[in-house]
């Protein structure tokens, strides 16, 4: 009979980049759903509320805290997207080789950061 545990626990697993990407995928999805929805509802309410309400929204979103929120949301989007693409490739049966899996586990958050920087460079340098 095998001595392997029937139900793995966190103490048994060795932490690796694939676990980080999985956790980030869940966290960024939740963050976009909660924070993104709050910003969207506030924006729509500000549009419906008139010029003063929209000026308040615009003032907050162009403050340093607003920039952090917007950059954070875009980073969450690109991180979630890259992780989702990685999982899509895994779902079709490719990328399970250890070196390939490790490479894309490390590459997806790095690509997400580069995409976030490129996105904001495109917006700010127009």
Query: Which amino acids are annotated as binding site, given as ranges?
Result: 80
For the annotated binding site for heme, the residues are 80
**What residue ranges in 13-121 does DSSP mark as E strands?**
none
Residue 40, judged by CB atoms within 10 A of its CB (0-12, 13-18, 19+), counts as exposed
Neighbours of 32 (CB within 10 A): 18
């Amino acid at each position: 009979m095998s001595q392997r545990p029937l139900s793995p626990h966190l103490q048994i697993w060795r932490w690796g980049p694939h676990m980080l990407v999985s956790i980030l995928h869940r966290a960024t999805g939740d963050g976009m759903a909660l924070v993104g929805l709050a910003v969207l509802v506030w924006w729509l309410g500000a549009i419906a509320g008139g010029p003063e309400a929209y000026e308040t929204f615009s003032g907050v979103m162009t403050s340093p805290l607003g920039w952090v929120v917007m950059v954070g949301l875009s980073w969450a989007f690109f991180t979630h997207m890259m992780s989702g693409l990685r999982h899509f490739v895994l779902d079709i049966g490719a990328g399970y080789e250890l070196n390939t899996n490790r490479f894309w586990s490390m590459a997806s958050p790095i690509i997400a950061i580069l995409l976030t920087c490129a996105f904001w460079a495109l917006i700010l340098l127009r």
